[in-house]
Amino acid sequence: MDNLLEIRDLAVHYYSNRKVVEAVNHLSLDMKKGTVLGLVGETGAGKTTLALSIVNMIRGPQGKIVQGSLRFNGKDILAMGRQELRGLRGKDIAMIFQDPMTALNPVLPVGDQIAETVIRHEGLTRAQGWKKAEEMLETVGIPGIRSREYPHQFSGGMKQRVVIALALACNPVLLLADEPTTALDVTIQAQVLDLMRKLIRENGTSVLFITHSLGLVAENCDEVATMYAGEIVEYGTVDQVFGRPLHPYTRGLFGSLPRLRDSQRRLTPIPGLMPDPTALPRGCYFAPRCPDKMPVCGEIHPRDHLFEGHRVKCHLYGGNGREAGNER
């Protein structure tokens, strides 16, 4: 089986003040083994909710996966019991969060936290667990002797390295990296990304890399998915999407990027805001902001079309759209 992860028709809702927040909407996505997939989109697009769904960590009663299926290595994640999920999280699927303090326990030495994970998942003794913790810290460039120190004794960049050491300690098959470098300054960002690249290369880990930055996607990913209002609106290889972005939203993201060699060009921001997820518009969710909007866009929600080898959810590429002739 080629697909490590198969998501089908996933819908996730949050319930607040008698309103329903439609955070993820009928989303389908496959991830092949060994790939690094970049997930881009504005804040509020549903990227983190998608990552939390993959490890079945949407917390009730406010949050609920209301529809769809998630399969990891052929196994149905949503049908797993508590014990099986504990085995999955941290061992087969690990997560790096944007803020390292959400992943670290402030009252436990960092070595203890790594040791606890490997003892639980790998069946090591306490002494072996501490040895592994020191080795992992050395791998991320932190002297093993600092394993007895607490999170507050580390700088922001070092804390994020500890989180990476923690996430990679059990050689996960899939790493969910949610804005892993956003909270770091640029020099530490580069160090952390180098480190992640090295570890991915050496361990063959698949990565879902959630980011706002198209630059980071271009440098680090094999494939890219653009997310808007809880949907994947474009999906393809980095070469396909960067070579010819098709969806007006993806094109808008590229239009808002500064270019070093084009100092005269004004940036073109995407006008307006993401729609209110408690009252999504009829038709295409991007229609109120779309420069290519057609009459059909306000009436009928677009379906996925395969166009020049990559997937795009837009009326321009099917039915009566002007690019329909090239649909494959």
Binding site for ligand SF4 (CB under 6 A): 248, 284, 286-287, 290, 292-294, 297, 302, 314-316
Query: For residue 215, what is the enclosing H or E element?
Result: helix 214-220
Distance CA 95, CA 89 (A): 8
In the bound complex, what is the minimum distance in angstroms from residue 290's beta carbon to ligand SF4? 3
Peptide bond before residue 61 is cis, with ω within 30 degrees of 0: yes
Nearer to ligand SF4, 154 or 286 (CB): 286
Nearer to ligand SF4, 87 or 288 (CB): 288
In the bound complex, what is the minimum distance in angstroms from residue 162's beta carbon to ligand SF4? 42
Q: Is 77 helix (H, G, I), strand (E, B) or coil?
A: helix
Is residue 131 within 8 A of residue 215, CB to CB? The reply is no
In the bound complex, what is the minimum distance in angstroms from residue 287's beta carbon to ligand SF4? 4
Nearer to ligand SF4, 181 or 240 (CB): 240
Nearer to ligand SF4, 90 or 275 (CB): 275
Nearer to ligand SF4, 126 or 322 (CB): 322
Distance CA 269, CA 271 (A): 6
Nearer to ligand SF4, 215 or 291 (CB): 291
For 41-125, where are the alpha helices, taking DSSP H only? 47-54, 82-88, 100-103, 110-122
Q: Is 89 helix (H, G, I), strand (E, B) or coil?
A: strand
In the bound complex, what is the minimum distance in angstroms from residue 294's beta carbon to ligand SF4? 6
* Torsional sign, CA 86, 91, 96, 101: positive
| Rounded alpha-carbon distances, angstroms, from residue 19 to 22, 62, 229, 278 | 9, 11, 16, 6
Q: Is 158 helix (H, G, I), strand (E, B) or coil?
A: helix
In the bound complex, what is the minimum distance in angstroms from residue 315's beta carbon to ligand SF4? 4
In the bound complex, what is the minimum distance in angstroms from residue 297's beta carbon to ligand SF4? 3
